[in-house]
Structure 1
Amino acid sequence: MNQLYNGMSAALLEGVVWRKSHFSNPSGNCVELAELPDGRVAVRNSRDPEGVALIYTRPEVDAFVQGVKRGDFDDLIG
């Protein structure tokens, strides 16, 4: 795998397993996540699987998930 960096093409992340929430809607409007070999987590838009991948550390993902569970982002839900 090439050097990993934030904003790289998701198509360059060969051999990773992308997954999405079971709550994703059938029209494909969702994000997908993949664990990277170094333990970080990549995020991509499911409608653009070869587009940009954002790469986060485990603590960054944990902070986001905990914020979602606490309702920190509920005001963004339309």
Structure 2
Amino acid sequence: MGKWENGVAADRITDARWQKARASDAKNDCIEVARLSESEYAFRNSRFPDGPALIYTKDEFEAFLDGVGKGEFNNMPV
């Protein structure tokens, strides 16, 4: 387990360098990502930058990106 717990207030991760996609709209509707270490990433909602951050391992993040790249989430029900 890393230094940070899931749900930590994102503004408490003071050394994070948050990055958001260039495709983010004018209202900041985007997910921001910060690499915390060689093996952990944090995610936060850019509309609520002080809100909770979700922490994922490198393997979890890579598995998600692989699924996105393969279109595994394209037909999710609403």
1:14-54 CA distance string (max 9 Å, x none): 02100011222222111000011353000000000000000
Matches within 5 A, 1:9-20: 9-20=9-20
More strand by share: 2
- TM-score (normalizing by structure 1): 0.87
TM-score computed with the length of structure 2 as normaliser? 0.87
Q: Which runs of 4+ in 1 moved over 4 A?
A: none
Q: Unpaired runs of 5+ in structure 2? A: none
- Equivalent runs, 1:29-68 vs 2, <5 Å: 29-37=29-37, 39-68=39-68
Unaligned runs of 5+ in 1: none
What CA distance in whole angstroms lies between the structure 1 residues aligned with 2:63 and 2:23? 20
Cα separation, 2, equivalents of 1:32 and 1:6: 15
Q: Could you say which residue in structure 1 is the equivalent of 2:5?
A: 5
Q: Percent identity?
A: 38
- Tell me the distance in 2 between the aligned counterparts of 1:66 and 1:37: 20
Q: CA 1:12–1:25 in 2, change beyond 3 Å: closer, same or farther?
A: same
* Preserved CA contact (<8 Å) 2:44 2:52: yes
Count of matched residue positions in the alignment of Structure 1 and Structure 2: 76
